[in-house]
C-alpha cells in the first residue's frame, strides 16, 4: 500500500467512526478539576507511549483532515469571543497551523557509527505537557501545539485564556473526538470546563506535568520560569522594521502594510514600528498610502491616538486587536470615507508608541539619517527580546550585519513579517516562538527529549 492509499484508508476509517465516537464521547477531555484532568492526561500518555509511530501518524492525519470543515467557524468564533482581530486573517492563521505544522517526520534520528559501535540520537516524548495559549491566537496555538506535541508522543493539559474559553473548549472537544477515533485513547488532550488563572498556577506546580509550553506575555512566561519545571517560553516581542535607501520601495511598502495590518497587528511577530532612512522616507510613506495606510498627522491628533492606545505605560486592553476605524473613533478623530488598513504616525525615537508592544494597527514611523543609526535604534526597540525583526534592503552586507546584531528568533528580509511563521512563505508554521528560552520557532522536536542510545562494538557496517 503506498502513502496515498494509506492516507485514504485512514480517512475512511476516521469518517466511519467519527460521528458515533463524538456522540459517545461528548464530555471526555473536559474536567472540573486540575487533578483529574492531569491524571487523565497522564493515564492517556502511558497508553499512547505504547503505540507505534503509525498510530501517531494516524492521529495527526485525522486532525489535519477532520478540522478543515471547522476552520471558518473557529475564525469567526475566535474573533467574536475575544473581540479582537479580523476573521479573514484568523482563517488563514488557523489554516496554516493545520496544514503546515510538521508531524512525526520532524523527529529526525541521527546516528554515529565507528569501530567502537553505534550511537543513536532520538527524540522521545516528555509526558504530559502543560500548554498555555494566548487570547491573541487562541485556536491557532491549540492546533499548532496539538500537532507538534502529539506528534512527539506527548499528551496535553491546555490552559486557554479565560477570554477565549468557549471557542478553545469547543476546539479541544472536537480534537478529543477526532483523536480518540484515530487511536482509541481518551484524553490525549485535556482542559478544564472553567479555565482560570488559579488553575494555570496549580497546573504549573503539578508533579505529573513534565514540561511547560507557555505562549503569552512576560507575566505568565516569567511565572512559569520560576516554577522550577523545564519551560519553553514564547514571550512578547516588539518587532522593528528597518528600511534603508537601497530597498525596493513599492514592494517594501506593500509588505509592511500587509504584515502590520495582519489580524489587526495581533501576531507577536507583526511589525510594531517602522524605522526608515530619511532620504527615502517620503517616497516610502507615499507608497504605503497607496497600499491603504492612513497617515495621522499633527501633534494634537497623534497625542489623542497615543492617549487611548497606551494607558499607564501599557497597551490599552480594550483596544488591542481593534480595527483602524475603531481606533480613530476611540481617539475622537475623523474617519475617512474608505476604511484604512493601517494607521501611520510619525514620532520621535523615544515615543511610547515605539517602545510599548501595542498589538494594534498603529505603526509608529521614525526617520533616521542612515542605516547604522537605524540599526542602533532597531536594536533598542527590539529590546533584547530575541523575537522578530524585518528589514528591507538590497545590500547583503547590511542584511547580514543586522541579522547578526539583532539576534532575533525570526528575521525576515524583504518580506512581510508573517513570512516568518510560514504564511505565504517557505518554512513550517508555528504559533509558539520560544524567545526568552531560545528554542525559536517550535515544532515536534522542540517538545521531545533528545536521547542518546548506545550500542557497543556492533553495527558499524562500513
Ligand atoms: P497574556 O499574557 O495575558 O495571557 C497568556 C496566557 O497566560 C493566557 O492563557 C492567560 O490565561 C495566562 N495568564 C495570564 N496571566 C496569568 C496569571 N496571572 N495566572 C495564570 N495564567 C495567566 O497574553 P495575551 O494577551 O493572551 O497574549 C498576548 C501576548 O502574548 C503578547 O505579549 C504577545 O507578544 C505574546 N505572544 C507571544 C507568542 C510567541 O510565540 N512568542 C505568540 C502569541 C502571543
- Tell me, what's the pLDDT at 225? 97
pTM of the full structure: 0.93
d(CA 309, CA 454) in angstroms, rounded, equals: 57
Q: Does the C-beta of 237 come closer than 6 Å to ligand 1? A: yes
The DSSP bridge pattern shows strands 128-132 and 117-125 to be unpaired
Which residues lie below 8 Å from residue 229, measured CB to CB, with a gap of 6+?
130, 204, 209, 210, 211, 212
Could you read off the pLDDT of 67-111 as tens digits, one per residue?
999 999 999 999 999 999 999 999 999 999 999 999 999 999 999
pLDDT higher than 60, residue 430: yes
Residue whose entry in the numeric block shows the C-alpha cell 491546555: 158
* 413 neighbors 388 (Cβ within 8 angstroms): no
Ligand 1, atom 30, lies closest to the CA of 216
Q: What is the pLDDT of residue 25?
A: 44
Cβ(162) – ligand 1 distance below 6 Å: yes
Instruction: Find, among 413, 409, 408, the residue nearest to 395 by Cα.
Output: 413
Give yes or no for residue 219 CB within 6 A of ligand 1.
Answer: yes
Q: What pLDDT, in 10s, does the model give residues 138-190?
A: 999 999 999 999 999 999 999 999 999 999 999 999 999 999 999 999 999 99
Task: Quote the ligand 1 centre to 446 CA distance (angstroms).
Answer: 20
Kindly state the DSSP code that residue 126 receives in the 8-state scheme.
Answer: -
Best mutation site among 156, 216, 235 for ligand 1, i.e. most ligand atoms within 8 A of its Cβ?
Answer: 216
Residues whose CB falls within 8 Å of the CB of residue 203, separated by 6 or more in sequence, listed in order = 34, 38, 130, 157, 159, 209
- Taking CA atoms only, the protein residue closest to ligand 1 atom 11 is 161
Question: Is the pLDDT confidence value at 253 over 70?
Answer: yes
Amino acid at each position: 500500500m503506498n502513502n496515498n492509499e494509506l492516507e485514504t484508508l485512514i480517512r475512511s476509517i476516521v469518517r466511519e467512526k467519527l460521528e458515533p465516537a463524538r456522540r459517545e464521547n461528548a464530555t471526555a477531555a473536559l474536567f472540573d478539576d486540575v487533578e483529574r484532568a492531569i491524571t487523565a492526561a497522564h493515564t492517556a500518555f502511558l497508553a499512547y507511549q505504547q503505540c507505534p509511530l503509525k498510530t501517531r501518524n494516524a492521529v495527526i492525519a485525522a486532525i489535519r483532515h477532520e478540522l478543515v470543515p471547522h476552520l471558518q467557524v473557529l475564525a469567526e468564533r475566535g474573533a467574536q469571543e475575544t473581540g479582537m482581530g479580523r476573521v479573514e486573517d484568523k482563517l488563514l492563521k488557523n489554516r496554516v497551523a493545520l496544514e503546515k505544522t510538521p508531524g512525526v517526520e520532524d523527529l529526525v534520528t541521527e546516528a554515529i557509527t565507528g569501530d567502537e559501535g553505534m550511537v543513536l540520537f532520538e527524540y522521545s516524548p516528555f509526558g504530559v505537557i502543560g500548554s498555555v495559549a494566548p487570547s491573541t491566537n487562541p485556536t491557532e496555538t491549540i492546533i499548532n501545539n496539538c500537532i507538534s506535541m502529539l506528534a512527539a508522543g506527548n499528551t496535553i493539559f491546555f490552559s486557554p485564556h479565560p477570554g477565549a474559553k468557549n471557542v478553545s473548549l469547543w476546539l479541544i472537544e472536537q480534537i478529543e473526538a477526532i483523536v480518540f477515533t484515530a487511536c482509541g485513547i481518551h484524553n490525549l488532550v485535556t482542559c478544564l470546563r472553567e479555565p482560570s488563572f488559579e488553575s494555570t498556577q496549580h497546573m504549573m506546580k503539578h508533579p505529573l506535568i513534565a514540561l511547560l509550553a507557555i505562549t503569552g506575555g512576560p507575566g505568565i512566561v516569567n511565572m512559569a520560569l520560576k516554577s522550577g519545571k523545564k519551560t519553553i517560553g514564547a514571550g512578547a516581542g516588539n518587532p522593528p522594521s528597518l528600511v534603508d535607501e537601497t530597498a525596493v520601495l513599492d514592494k517594501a511598502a506593500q509588505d509592511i502594510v500587509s504584515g502590520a495590518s495582519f489580524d489587526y497587528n495581533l501576531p507577536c511577530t507583526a511589525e510594531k514600528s517602522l524605522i526608515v532612512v530619511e532620504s527615502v522616507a517620503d517616497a516610502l510613506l507615499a507608497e504605503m498610502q497607496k497600499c491603504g495606510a492612513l497617515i495621522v498627522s499633527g501633534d494634537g491628533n497623534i497625542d489623542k491616538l497615543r492617549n487611548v492606545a497606551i494607558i499607564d505605560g501599557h497597551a490599552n486592553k480594550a483596544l488591542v486587536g481593534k480595527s483602524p476605524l475603531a481606533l480613530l473613533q476611540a481617539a475622537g478623530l475623523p474617519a475617512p470615507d474608505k476604511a484604512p488598513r493601517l494607521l501611520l504616525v510619525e514620532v520621535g525615537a523615544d515615543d511610547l508608541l515605539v517602545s510599548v508592544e501595542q498589538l494594534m494597527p498603529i505603526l509608529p514611523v521614525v526617520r533616521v539619517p542612515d542605516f547604522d543609526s537605524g540599526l542602533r535604534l532597531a536594536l533598542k526597540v527590539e529590546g533584547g527580546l530575541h523575537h522578530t525583526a524585518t528589514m528591507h534592503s538590497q545590500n547583503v552586507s547590511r542584511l547580514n550585519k543586522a541579522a547578526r546584531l539583532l539576534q532575533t528568533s525570526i528575521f525576515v528580509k524583504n518580506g512581510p513579517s508573517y513570512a516568518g511563521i510560514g504564511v505565504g512563505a517557505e518554512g513550517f508554521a508555528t504559533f509558539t516562538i520560544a524567545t526568552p528560552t531560545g528554542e525559536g520557532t517550535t515544532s515536534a522536536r522542540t517538545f521531545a527529549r533528545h536521547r542518546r542510545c548506545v550500542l557497543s562494538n556492533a553495527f558499524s557496517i562500513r
